[in-house]
Amino acid sequence: MTDAITGTCLCGACRYRTDAPVMNVRTCHCHRCQRATGSAFYARVMVPLASVTIDGPVRWHDGGTGVRRGFCPTCGSTMFSERAAAGTIGLAIGTLDHPERFAPTDHIWISAKQPWLVLADGLPQFAEGPPAT
């Protein structure tokens, strides 16, 4: 049995929960993630889409890339990155109730990384997406 993963937006209007095992934890530096989060990168925990229960309002933006982004319509917190075709959803680490439980295992899309950001954590870095496993 796994420990539940729970989280909420900044204002608390939207909450989520999953009991599924984590598929991976990554930090994405692509320009789309930067724009979606308003930050230099997007750190997220990936789990199976069908395992997540969402309570409260969520607005979704589909940018036509196969990734749909979910955010709280009240406070604007970026919460999710859903890839329905793959059956996965990313949970923004900053929205987790216990973000300290999860550390990224690699950095993807560093070809778009901000030049002032120094990655000295020793984790694998991939110019684009991770290699197929």
Q: Could you read off the pLDDT of 34-66 as tens digits, one per residue?
A: 999 999 999 999 999 999 999 999 999 998 889
In-domain check, residue 119? no
The reply to whether 130 falls in a domain is no
Number of separate domains in the chain: 1
| pLDDT band at 132; cut points 50, 70, 90 | confident
- Host domain of residue 58: 5-112
Q: Rounded to an integer, what distance in angstroms lies between the CA atom of residue 82 and that of residue 49?
A: 7
Residue 121 maps to a domain: no
Q: Alpha-carbon dihedral of residues 77, 8, 54, 1, nearest 10 degrees?
A: 140
Domain assignment present for 28: yes
pLDDT at 131: 82
* Residue 74 belongs to domain with CATH number: 2.170.150.70
- Residue holding tokens 């120094």? 118
In this prediction, what percent of the chain has a pLDDT beyond 90?
A: 92
Calpha distance 103→24 (Å, rounded): 10
CB 119 within 8 A of CB 113: yes
Using pLDDT thresholds of 50, 70 and 90, give the confidence band for residue 1.
very low
Which of 64 and 11 is assigned the larger pLDDT? 11
The yes-or-no verdict on residue 2 having pLDDT over 70 is no
Q: Are 39 and 120 in contact (CB under 8 A)?
A: no
User: Does 69 reside within a domain?
Assistant: yes
